[in-house]
Amino acid sequence: MDPQKLKKLADLLGHDLAGWKITQCHFLELEHKLRGSFPAITNDGKVIATLDKSLLQKVWKRLSRRAAKVTSLTVIAHPESGVAFSLENYFDKDVEPSRVLSSEAIEELCRQRNYPFQWTSGLLQMSERPIHDPVFTD
């Protein structure tokens, strides 16, 4: 089974899950009191998610300073391929795969001259409160 070809969580059912693990996936998102999520993304619009929370600190240092937090979700992930499915709503078998970045992939992105990280648009920063670093450790 090629993890890259899976289209939904239900596609995992009945397959050998060797190489898969249930773990936490982490991403940065703007902190606010509204509904919705405004995560850090790459220039191609993909959420920057990783299985190693500490890697997000490298991304944080290359983003515009905004009030942010680290959000963690329970996923079933295939780290070798970078494919993960959220288990937060495991009753929904149509959950689509997410991409998780390895340390090597994040390092490669960080080496690029024009850092390919940005915040999802749609949330204005109105507060003048001091901005604190998110917690990148468990």
Read off the pLDDT of residues 48-61 as tens digits, 9 standing for 90 and up: 999 999 999 999 99
Token code pair at residue 8: 């939904």
Q: How confident is the model at residue 50, as a pLDDT?
A: 96
DSSP, collapsed to helix, strand or coil, labels residue 31 as: coil
pTM for the model: 0.84
pLDDT, one tens digit per residue, over 80-106 is 999 999 998 766 667 888 999 999 999
Token code pair at residue 82: 């970078």
Query: What residue type is assigned to position 122 of the chain?
Result: G
Q: How confident is the model at residue 90, as a pLDDT?
A: 64
